[in-house]
Structure 1
Amino acid sequence: MKNILYTALLTVMFITIVSCNSNSSSADDTAIIDTNKNALSSPEMKGDANFVVEASNGSMLEVALGMLAQKRASSNKVKEFGKTMIADHTRSGAELRAFAKSNNIDLPTVLGQDLQKDYNDLSKENGDDFDRAYIAFMIKDHTQDIEEFKKEAESGNDEQLKAFASAHVPVLEEHLQMAKNTETAIK
């Protein structure tokens, strides 16, 4: 019963993300970032607010793609990887939303244009083609995420956010290794 409720909640969240205006643009992300100019008390905190917005948007994409993997993947290993992405990025997204709320940072509610394009491109694939494209995207994406989270952990200004980023680097590194292992398994 618990799994059914969890799956239903994730499905509703997925439908909300995907069915919202797919014409949202990078300008939308810029508007949110501009809105956040007053979110944190000092000018040096603006980079932290931008990190929160970008990381939140990335988590939304990871969850949406994980759900897509549940439907489109042919490999059980890819489906398992997608399930892990849903669980882990739902948790990190919730942490980011809590931080954003306590620091008056507006977060995107739909994917930005670039991320929506990534989602749309992957949604056109099925079976083995989806498996290869999804895992290749996850390797690229997690490699970039690790760099961004390390940068925030090292040079961010908000101690709570630096701790969040630092704590999530090993999780992202684990995801990257899982993706690489999955890529090897599906070849």
Structure 2
Amino acid sequence: MKNLFFLIYSIAFTVMIACNSQPKDAKETADSINRTKDTSTVVADMITVRDDEAEFATNAADAGLAEINFANLAISKTANEQIKAYANMMLKEHGATNDELIALAKSKNITLPNTMSDEHQKRWDELNEKTGASFDKKYASLMEEDHVKTLAFMEHEARKGTDPDLKAFANKMVPTINVHLNAIRKIKDSLK
């Protein structure tokens, strides 16, 4: 009986380790660190917001990092002046927003990702393979998709958020993201 119990325990432990040994991207790592901080008993290590608020911050940081990386790629690859102007706007505005989010996260003891998630990296790699008009169309489509997704989680935080600072950040970002979304839709329509 003892051996059977030990065998079951060993198998369960092995499965648990195997499931948790998957490599994590920067966003997943940040979310995991924040969940650990959420359960800390040491005041200095505690996160000062709910777990879902910290996840909002990591999503916003991941989206901002992606916009900057995609913009740098667009500037280096496109000959289209509209795409270049849009990418430069992304660099300027998302750069400033990311700096603001970093400061806000630090004040809440939220860990943010410092590189793009695997999902965004995969999309960046696919975009990097494109050239010319094919690149421009793919970039415009990706920017539209990303801004629709970002707008949704910003609006959700602006309506349902409980942390006043993160809620104010989201409220501030909603109009900016709408401007970005409308601008890229206009560019996308002109590329057809």
TM-score, normalization by structure 1: 0.82
AA aligned to 1:41 is T
Preserved contact between residue 135 and residue 183 of structure 1 (Cα < 8 Å):
yes
Q: Which entry has the higher C-alpha Rg, 1 or 2? A: 2
In the other structure, the counterpart of 1:137 is 142
1:34 pairs with 2:32: yes
AA aligned to 1:185 is S
In the other structure, the counterpart of 1:55 is 60
Deviations 1:68-94 (A, max 9, x none): 111111211011111111111101111
1:132 Cα shift?
A: 0.2
Deviations 1:141-161 (A, max 9, x none): 111111100000111111011
Aligned residues: 162
Partner of 2:113, secondary structure, is coil
In the other structure, the counterpart of 1:46 is 51
Partner Cα separation in structure 2 for residue 128 and residue 33 of structure 1: 37
The alignment-based identity, stated in percent, is 27
Moved more, 159-168 or 108-117: 108-117
CA change 1:137–1:25 in 2 (3 A) is farther
Partner of 2:115, secondary structure, is coil
1:68 pairs with 2:66: no
Deviations 1:3-48 (A, max 9, x none): xxxxxxxxxxxxxxxxxxxxx9655432321211225336xx1111
4+ runs deviating over 2 angstroms:
24-31, 37-42
CA change 1:92–1:80 in 2 (3 A) is same
Pairing 1:6-25 to 2, within 5 Å after superposition: none
Pairing 1:1-187 to 2, within 5 Å after superposition: 26-37=24-35, 38=37, 39-41=46-48, 45-187=50-192
Partner Cα separation in structure 1 for residue 117 and residue 47 of structure 2: 23
Partner Cα separation in structure 1 for residue 181 and residue 24 of structure 2: 26
Partner Cα separation in structure 1 for residue 101 and residue 177 of structure 2: 15
In the other structure, the counterpart of 2:9 is none
Preserved contact between residue 69 and residue 82 of structure 1 (Cα < 8 Å):
yes
1:106 Cα shift?
A: 1.2
Structure 1 runs not aligned, ≥5 long: 1-23
Partner of 1:107, secondary structure, is coil
Partner of 1:106, secondary structure, is coil
Give me the CA root mean square deviation: 1.6
TM-score, normalization by structure 2: 0.80
Moved more, 171-180 or 105-114: 105-114
Structure 2 runs not aligned, ≥5 long: 1-21, 38-45
CA change 1:68–1:91 in 2 (3 A) is same
Partner Cα separation in structure 2 for residue 117 and residue 85 of structure 1: 20
CA change 1:105–1:176 in 2 (3 A) is same
